[in-house]
Every structure is written in structure tokens, then in C-alpha cells.
Amino acid sequence: MNFEFATATRIVFGAGRLREVGALSKEFGSRVLVVTGRDTKRAEPLLKILHAGGVSTTTFSVAGEPELSTVEQGTESAKTRRCELVIGFGGGSVLDAAKAIAAMLANGGELLDYVEIIGRGRMLTKPSVPFVAIPTTAGTGSEVTRNAVLASSEHKLKVSLRSPLMLARVAVVDPELTYDLPPALTASTGLDALTQLIEPFVCARANPMTDGLCVEGLQRAARSLRIAFADGQNKSAREDMALAGLFGGLALANAGLGAVHGFAGPIGGSFAAPHGAICAALLPHVMGANLRALRRRAPDSAVLPRFDQVARWLTGDASATADAGVQWIQQLVSDLQIPKLSAYDIREEHVADLVARAMNASSMKANPVALTPEELAGALRQAL
Ligand SMILES: [Zn+2]
């Protein structure tokens, strides 16, 4: 056995704990860049709390998924206002943008010096300026991961800025912030959380520490995602989903993912589909492809009983087998009204290219079995 576990220095969890952000930010400085989503009004309660705590704020709004230029603009804005810390307040895109800005404020040079694939891929050498991550959705787990996904529209590609030095100083996970999420967003982010609990549990780099988080998170998501979708104000369901999102982030950052996320990068880079909806549409079909490949090529694999365990936690039936788990997810995806990928104009003519690009994705390396291009294409076609 061989593993490492790294995460945010401090995780603050609980309904209403946003109120503590003024005092905890003050420990890091008195001028903060607050990175928010498109609707900056949502951040007003946070700004009030910060101002009451004696912290001055500059707001930077990120509409949609962050581009490299978004991070460059945010970094400039923070430099001009001499910000000492960065707070990300929003969904995964906002947290990733804030995380990248905090890294660029501490490390000199240009963003392209450090970005993989399209940049020079140099290592970040200095810890980010203090970064406080406050998710307002329950799913991505970005508050505890060490990478920021950035889009390059020029290259039709998503690339990561990645370093353990980018981990948040504090992650504040307050389920109250998710009570007003509309059902469609609850569904897509919640299914991303579920995917990020299943893929690390069956992946090639699973370890006992991430296993424990996956078991706990999976059971909470299984019992609460439908409830949170139907009744957003249900406090215990929202609390479960906030934990599921957090635990998925902890698991993926310290174990790995698999073919669903291998596809999610190239698809998200080329088509205007939300990350969670892509993962949800693919999840049952990739699980099916993995099961068939394992049964055929590695029938004694220790991963196969893990798929049975996942099925038992999802269905609550102690005798359920892996296939029942796949069916349960298929039903959930349909009940939560997740569209097929064809709804985003992804068609047969795109399959070969997406498969080729997915095979090179870093998430693919942790998939429990090496899937052939034909097997990957089959799973993708089923999701169209
Ligand atoms: Zn994901």
C-alpha cells in the first residue's frame, strides 16, 4: 500500500458558517479580491460580512467557464488593488478561476508559462497567496482540489493549471448557500459529485483513505440527491449533497478518476455542455463498458466486487449486484431530466475525434481497465 493525502489546510463545514468568513479572512490581510459568478448580487451577503470584519473588497465577476484571459484580467485587477488574499465564491468555474488567480499573484511570469499542453508547463514554485474557497453549488469539489481547469477557445481545449501549492488555505462549505440552486443545476452538479465518488472508488489508485470518503459520500448522495432536486429547501438533503461534493473532491484529488472524466475534458472543451451533465450522461454507459471489459479480460480483478459494493450503497439493497447499480444510475439520470449528449449537438461524426482525445486525458490513466477505442466509442454512442 502506498498513498499520499493532501487537502486544504482547513475545512470549515456547516450551515451558516459563511458568517465566520470575515474573521478568518482578516487573519490573511485586509484587502481581498472576491471572485464571483455572473450574478454579483449573490455575493452581497459575503461582502457585508467581509466589510463588517474590516476587510476591503474588490469584486471580479467570472461569467461562465474561465478562459486563460479571465485569469489574466483577474490577476491584473488584484495587483492594481494590492489584494492580499483571494476568495472564490461560486460554482466550480469561479473557484477554479480564483484558484488560478491566487497562484498567478504569487508566481511571476505569464499564465502560459505554467499551463500544460498549450503552454510551457513549468512548475509553480511559490505557494499561492492565501486562497479561501466558498462553493455555492454541491458537486465539483474544487474547494479541495489542486488544479484549475481553464478553457482556451482558440485551441478548443480545456487545460489545467496544477500544483499542490494551489490548495486552498481554507475551504468554507456552507450548505445554506445551495438552498436556492434551481433543480437543473442541483441535478447536474449532484451527478458530478456522484461520478466523483464512484470513479475514485473503482479507480486504479484508490486507497483506504479515499475509500472511506467515497463510501460515506455515496450513501449520502444516494439517499438525498432526488430529495434536493425535488425540494431545494430540504436542509438535511442539502447538507448531504454538500458533504458528497466535498468528499468527491477529496477523493478525486488524492486517488484519481476514470473514463467519464477522460471524456469530460475534450467534450467540455468543444461543446457548450455543463460538466456535470456530460458526466451524468456518460456515467451509466462507461460503468457498463468497464464491467464488460473487466469480466472479459480480468475476471479475477479486485475491482469487480467494488462495483457490487457501489450498487449496494446506491440501491440500499444488500444483495444488489453491479448491473443493478448501473440500472439505478440510469434511472436517476432519467428522473433528473439529464439530456442526452446529442442535445448539445454532439453527433456520430464527432465520436472518433473525442475518443482519440479522451484516450490522452490524464483521468483516463486511472480507469480500472484500459478500454479499447471501440469500447470507448460504444459507451459514448450510448450517451448520444
Ligand atoms: Zn467532475
What is the pLDDT at residue 171? Answer: 98
Distance 92 CA to ligand 1 centre (A): 9
Distance 120 CA to ligand 1 centre (A): 25
**pTM summary value:** 0.96
Distance 79 CA to ligand 1 centre (A): 31
What is the pLDDT at residue 230? Answer: 98
Distance 197 CA to ligand 1 centre (A): 10
Distance 11 CA to ligand 1 centre (A): 20
Distance 279 CA to ligand 1 centre (A): 7
The tens place of each residue's pLDDT in the chain, 384 residues long, gives 899 999 999 999 999 999 999 999 999 999 999 999 998 999 999 999 999 999 999 999 999 889 999 999 999 999 999 999 999 999 999 999 999 999 999 998 999 999 888 888 899 999 999 999 999 999 999 999 999 999 887 877 788 899 999 999 999 999 999 999 999 999 999 999 999 999 999 999 999 999 999 999 999 999 999 999 999 999 999 999 999 999 999 999 999 999 999 999 899 888 989 999 999 999 999 999 999 999 999 999 999 999 999 999 999 999 999 999 999 999 999 999 999 999 999 999 999 999 999 999 889 999 999 999 999 999 999 999
Distance 348 CA to ligand 1 centre (A): 24
Distance 140 CA to ligand 1 centre (A): 6
Q: Which residues, 6 or more positions from 261, have their beta carbon under 8 angstroms from its beta carbon?
A: 195, 196, 199, 252, 279, 361, 363
Q: Contact at 8 Å (CB) between 131 and 102?
A: yes
Distance 230 CA to ligand 1 centre (A): 22
Distance 246 CA to ligand 1 centre (A): 12
Distance 192 CA to ligand 1 centre (A): 5
Distance 21 CA to ligand 1 centre (A): 26
The residues facing 35 across adjacent strands are 60, 88
What is the pLDDT at residue 156? Answer: 74
Distance 249 CA to ligand 1 centre (A): 9
Distance 280 CA to ligand 1 centre (A): 9
Q: Among candidates 191, 200, 199, which has minimal Cα distance to 224? A: 191
Contacts 24+ apart (CB under 8 A), 57-61: 57/31, 57/32, 57/33, 58/31, 58/32, 58/33, 58/34, 58/83, 59/34, 60/33, 60/34, 60/35, 60/36, 60/101, 61/35, 61/36, 61/37
What is the pLDDT at residue 108? Answer: 86
Distance 195 CA to ligand 1 centre (A): 7
Distance 54 CA to ligand 1 centre (A): 36
What is the pLDDT at residue 151? Answer: 87
Distance 30 CA to ligand 1 centre (A): 34
Q: Contact at 8 Å (CB) between 170 and 8?
A: yes
